[in-house]
Chains A and B, each alone.
Chain A
Amino acid sequence: MDNLIELILLKYPKNATENIIEILLQIQEAEGFISAQSIIMLSEHVGVQSSKIYSVASFYDQFVFEARAKFIIRVCSGTSCYISGSDTIISFLEKEFNIRIGEITRDHVFQIETKSCLGACAQSPVLEINGVFYSNLTPQRIRQIIHQCKSSLQ
């Protein structure tokens, strides 16, 4: 892991603070989350205290500091999706996996999140799993999508 982060850091000049967010995004892409170790390495690279880096990272929604599930189900809760019933979808998913919003299933495969607006209002309600959008959500379709995810693991 450390090597991976080093490779990312090498792409950027030392002591250039404007790249912090971009580097953090890349670290998250590579590692899946921002580890304490990566914050320390980044702080040494750009010459800013690690507490400052953490303060920047924790400001943005995008960054997480714990390992995440393989499939992150993001239910859009933008206005258009909200009035079209995104709440029902969330409670359906919560029941289906027996977890609550933000939590991870025991096998670390699924995680449910809400997202403020995914910008796909025309097909609302929508959900996104690892970058792929799904619309026309009925209980059967959601089950089918979940099944697809599970079978793609094997």
Chain B
Amino acid sequence: MKRSVAVLGAVLSTAMLAGCWDREYLKDLNLAYSVGFDLTKDKKIKETVELIIPPESEQSGTKNEIHSAVGPTTRGSSNELRARVRGNMRVLKNGVQVIGKDLALNGLKPPMDVNFRDPDNPSSNVRLIITDGEASEIIGQKEVGELKIGEFLIQKIESLEKMSLFYPPETMDTVFKALKDPGQDFALPYIGLEGKEIVAKGVALFHDQYFTGELNIEDSIMLVLLKGRSGDNARLTKKIDDGPLRGNISFNVGKKKVKRTFKVMVGKNGEVHVQLNIKLKGLIEEYTGSHPLTEESLVRVNQELSDILTRQARDVVRSLQKANCDIFGVGRELIAYHNSLWKQKDWSKEYQEVQFHTDVQVSIINTGIIQ
């Protein structure tokens, strides 16, 4: 009897207490909210984290600490970091990863590997940002106004996404998908430090895993529109240089859905043609010209703006091709519909030879309260 009770107890506790391995009490966690990675001169990885110190009571606010460490790999420098910070450093609510330009030029796959390999690392809601300098400098700002650096970066990126600077949101997950796909590249938010201010500089273009080029802010918005997407707003300001209508015009094309035609066609000799047309519907928000925007003059304005934007779009496509960044997924279309052709091609070379036929049409549907 005594024996069977002991055996039962042993079996039950083995079965039941097995779950306690995975237990990780909330109160023991030290959260790294934002992380930055840089490449040092001796090709090592420098990791900078913003660690949130648990508040002393539920009413008091949190504080943050910045730590950095150098190691041979990402995880290696994390281990190094753990020796420096207090308690159990965890990244499970990590919201943003900043990557220095040098590291991005050297490829994202090696430093990102641990994020995808270890399921404890979050990936679905982690924004990736490229900085033109050192990530440690950005994180090292520690606080921007009232906000801690991690919060600030996330808020900034989210508001810029609403302004169609980067859209749809690129997170670790979407980047992983693009990294694994030979027919699809990606672009990431590109920021920099000007004095003490963190400013958005546009997007960083990637080919495969390498940082290959950049676009400025206006071109970034155009890129988003060319993808057929837009955030809540997409504001453009253009100068019209046409007789009586002369003046600066600010309009928002993000309020209405972007109509996009995207066709990949293959010519007789295997050359690839891409037809990329977008139709934008704009709301005028500001116009400095003196001529009233009547029905007739709006036709002129539409014509003028379509011309300007088409030119800009073609510039953007040229920059994309120069950076070898197949962000529209032309390669993916080829894999799907022209597979035999795709197999013959060395895409990273031949992408630049793709013929893009880009056209933008703008129609103003609203001039605001006044004409």
A and B, one complex?
no
Residues of A within 8 A of B (CB): none
Residues of B within 8 A of A (CB): none
